[in-house]
Amino acid sequence: MSRYRVLFVCTGNTCRSPMAEGALRALLDGQKIDFIEVLSAGTHAVPSCPPTLHAIEACKTWHGDISKHRSRRISCELLEECDLIFCMTASHFHEVVSLCPEVRDRAYMLKKYPEGGDDGEGVADPIGGSLDQYNTTFLEIGEEIGRMLPDIIAKARKKME
C-alpha cells in the first residue's frame, strides 16, 4: 500500500517549502502518523543545495530538523506521484499546472486551501532576510499547516482504506 504524499512547492527549495515540509513532518511525528510522506521541491531549484541556515533554525521552533534536506526541482513525474500539492504563491501554482496539467485538481495555494485557484495570498520569500523574518514566515506557514492538518489526515486515511 503506497503512502499518501504531500508536496510543498516554492522557488529554490531552500526556504519556504523545506520549512513547510519540516513543520508538517513535526506535526505528524507528534501524532505518530507514519502513512503520510512529506516532500518539497522548487520551480527553479538548483539540485542538492542545503536549506538556508535561517530555515534550519526556524524549523527548530517545532523541533523540526531539515538539516539533511537537499533541494530538488519539480518534475511532472514527481507531481503526478503526489496526492496533495501546496504552492507558496500564484506563480508557483501556474508553473506546477503548466508543467503537469493533470495535477490541477490536486494543486492548491497554501493559504487558500481547500479552495482551488490562484487568486489567494501567497507566502513571501524570506531569502536573504533575518532570522526574525524566517521565524515569521515559518509561523505563517505553520499556522496554515495546523489549520489543514485534520483534513490532510482524513484524506490520507481515506486513501489507505
Which residues are the active-site residues? 10, 16, 125
The SS3 assignment for 107 reads: strand
The SS3 assignment for 90 reads: helix
Q: Which phi and psi angles does 52 have, rounded to 5°?
A: -65, 155
Contact at 8 Å (CB) between 134 and 54?
A: yes
Cα four-point dihedral sign 49, 107, 134, 66: negative
Contact at 8 Å (CB) between 51 and 60?
A: no
Query: Which residue in the block uniquely carries the three cell numbers 515569521?
Result: 136
- Let me know if 81 is exposed, middle or buried by CB neighbors in 10 A (0-12, 13-18, 19+): middle
Listed residue (53, 24, 41) closest to 130, CA to CA: 53
